[in-house]
Amino acid sequence: REFIPLTPLEDFQFSDIVVPSAGGTFTGAALECLMQCVERDVRRSDGDTKGDWRPLVFLMTDGTPSDALAYGEAVKAIRGRGFGSIIACAVGPKAGHEHLKQLTDKVVSLETLDSTAFAGFFKWVSASVSSGSTSAGINNGTDTLPPPPPEIQLVL
């Protein structure tokens, strides 16, 4: 389900999201929800109208998808959607990387999610926003990211 609707970055207000401490990791369902929101809310550029920036996806997970079939289908669909960038972050010792590599080649890993690592990740994400900001409907083929801080490991 959608907790916070797609919002221009300058208008975003962070609010706490309560998540269950145990249970499934329904990543496929989450990606499907994301695609529905993007389809509904993102205005594409055309010859007469300036649209929104291409959406950036930052997926953070502590496990592997419980809905593997739905995840595989969502990966196929999302890769063809023209997002500005897709970055996946595996958090903790049980977080798998292989399923994230199906989604994107930009996979990072955080062994722990202490305040320093969390702050470093989001500072890096903020820097990534400026590097991935291009207009919706325009794909210029460039997709480079700044180097991550030391507490974030790139998964190759």
> Residue 105 domain-assigned?
yes
Closest CA to 65 of 30, 108, 93: 30
What is the spatial distance between Cα 30 and Cα 1, in angstroms, rounded to a whole number? Answer: 7
Q: What is the pLDDT of residues 96-142, one digit of tens each?
A: 889 999 999 988 888 877 777 777 877 877 776 665 555 445 444 55
Q: Which domain holds residue 101?
A: 54-137+145-156
| pLDDT score recorded for residue 29 | 96
CB-based contact 138:54 (threshold 8 Å): yes
Query: Token pair of 110, please?
Result: 């955080």
> Residue 110 domain-assigned?
yes
Using DSSP's 3-state secondary structure scheme, residue 86 falls into: strand
CATH of the domain at 120: 3.40.50.410
